[in-house]
Amino acid sequence: MFKLITSKPLWVNIVAGCSIILFLILLFFGSLDWLTNYGKSEKVPSVLGVQVAAAQKMLEEKGFDVVIQDSVFVDTAAKESVIRQSPDADEEVKQGRTIYLTINRVVPPQIEIPNLAGFSIKSAEMYLQSLGLKLGAVSYKPDIAKNAVLEMIMNGTTVQPGTKVPLGSMIGFVLGSGVGDSEIDVPYIVGKTLNDARAYLSTLNINIGSVLMIGAVKDSGSAYIVKQIPELSSSVLDANGKKQPNKIRSGQLMDVYISETAPTTVDTSENISQ
């Protein structure tokens, strides 16, 4: 072959080479329609809401390639169903085009509940929505912080800030309704542990305010209350020489002093005028 080429004049070889190159160029451009499916298009079917396996089969039967591009979580859509497709449904595209799908996740992501105590209901709701959570039932209880968030509730149970819940969960609020109209005698909580006092006062819709420590306290919840404000009775005596009980309304606060040592104070409620 090499001898045959070299035996020909140079100009013959040049003409032959140029002819071969020209033929290959014409062959390439002539095959473009076949290579690119020029003029052959297909309408993209809608696979929104379809399970991913069925959607993939449907598209491949139409001659499309399928790529799962992303996954999101939508609580109102079926798990593993198609949420988005690109190109969109009913678009005319070339056969063999790649269709990108976004599917609904099986397991929702976990969201950490923020501390919304003290927020107004509107601000708290907007915060929840920004995290992908929903506002649940709203209830009220007497508290000096009127219309402010006091507690967060999920499935009937109080949830603490930092708790992780599924995206789309419903979080309810307990809001303050303000101070009550009726007065009651100030309850006596000296001698109780802080945890016991909180539980007892909650039945009266009274809250613990400031907690001041006397000495070193390792566990405030189990520490004893040694002083309360307001006190059980006033220093003013009635006509019979008896102390008058102090009054408090539901929703108000009681400040306490706590210590790891139990107080020796005796309940003096018998000295208060009834």
- Residue 99 placed within a domain: yes
Domain extent, residue 76, equals 43-104
* Domain identity same for 197 and 243: yes
Comparing 235 with 126, the larger pLDDT belongs to 126
- Residue 58 placed within a domain: yes
- Residue 66 placed within a domain: yes
* Domain identity same for 118 and 64: no
Q: Looking at residue 162, what DSSP letter applies?
A: T
Question: Tokens standing for 154?
Answer: 């999920």
Q: Which helix (H) or strand (E) holds 130?
A: helix 121-130
Domain count, the chain: 3
Domain boundary among 74, 104, 134: 104
- Residue 251 placed within a domain: yes
CB environment 122-147: b (16+ within 10 A), e (fewer): eebbeebeeeebeebeeeebbbebee
- Residue 17 placed within a domain: no
* Domain identity same for 172 and 244: no
Per-residue pLDDT tens over the stretch 145-160: 889 999 999 999 999 9
CATH code, domain carrying 133: 3.30.10.20
Domain boundary among 141, 176, 211: 176
For residue 271, give every residue at least 6 positions away whose Cβ sits within 8 Å of its Cβ, in sequence order, or none. Answer: 233, 242, 243
- Residue 21 placed within a domain: no
- Residue 273 placed within a domain: no
Question: Quick one: pLDDT at residue 152?
Answer: 96
The answer to whether the beta carbons of residues 97 and 87 sit under 8 Å apart is: yes
* Domain identity same for 263 and 191: yes
Per-residue pLDDT tens over the stretch 73-97: 888 889 999 999 999 988 888 878 8
* Domain identity same for 77 and 121: no
- Residue 22 placed within a domain: no
Per-residue pLDDT tens over the stretch 197-211: 999 998 898 989 899
Q: What proportion of the chain, given as a percentage, has pLDDT over 90?
A: 52
Distance CA 237, CA 255 (A): 24
Cis peptide before 9 (omega within 30 of 0): no
* Domain identity same for 90 and 148: no
* Domain identity same for 71 and 133: no
Asked if residue 5 has pLDDT above 70, the reply is no
Residue 109, helix vs strand vs coil: coil
Asked if residue 218 has pLDDT above 60, the reply is yes
Residue 140, helix vs strand vs coil: strand
* Domain identity same for 96 and 119: no
Domain boundary among 67, 88, 104: 104
Pairing of strands 98-104, 224-229: unpaired
* Domain identity same for 245 and 212: yes
* Domain identity same for 92 and 163: no
